[in-house]
Amino acid sequence: MRRVKLDFHIIYIIMELQPIQNRIFNIRGFRVMMDFHLAELYEVETKILNQAVKRNLRRFPADFMIQLTGKEWNHLKTQMAILDAENERSQFVTFDSLKRKYLPYTFTEQGIAMLSSVLKSDRAIDVNIAIMRAFVILRQHITNYQELFQRVNALEKQMNRKFKDIHEALNYLLNSHSSTEIGFRQAGRTKS
């Protein structure tokens, strides 16, 4: 009974965290979230979030916060539009949030954790906990996929060896010049 309760709890957490996981992107080798996505989750304006960060810049070194280049931003806008279309979200709302005067900031997992020391509302605390859980689940998925990938590769190599052996045996049998008769021969009958 306890196992069933635990599974439902995990399913609930995963469903709750899915919108957060869909907002985690890879930039320069880091998994990051956009400033406007975080502001939406924290229920503050993006401008307010960025002002709080700028007042505490010492807490956000280069591996905690990254400002996107124009090229990165254009590429990411395309990715987000595709994701929103797949999730059937209103593209009108999405494209309005993508029009910006300044290039956006992105925050790594450590940067998001640091945001909790800058934004001190109850909502910020709850959102940070959910985001940290999303990052943990994402890491677990990546680890599981890597293990699965390694297993599939090993299986593929093993099967290729077996198919090669079967292929060689079939070729030998088909190309063999000596034929052996199979069956019984009646006395007095010759080979026809």
Give the DSSP H/E element, type plus range, for residue 122: helix 122-175
Q: How high is the pLDDT of residue 54?
A: 93
Of 148, 146, 141, the residue nearest 21 (C-alpha): 141
Between the alpha carbon of residue 92 and those of residues 46, 47, 151, the distances in Å are: 18, 20, 43
Contacts of 80 (CB under 8 A, 6+ apart): 94, 98
Sign of CA dihedral 136, 137, 140, 141: negative
Q: How high is the pLDDT of residue 68?
A: 92
The Cα 188–Cα 185 span in angstroms is: 9
pLDDT tens column, 33-48: 899 988 888 888 899 8
DSSP at 112: H
Residues of the chain predicted below pLDDT 70: 1-18, 82-99, 145, 176-185, 188-192
In the chain, where the domains are located:
2-148
Report yes or no on whether pTM surpasses 0.95: no
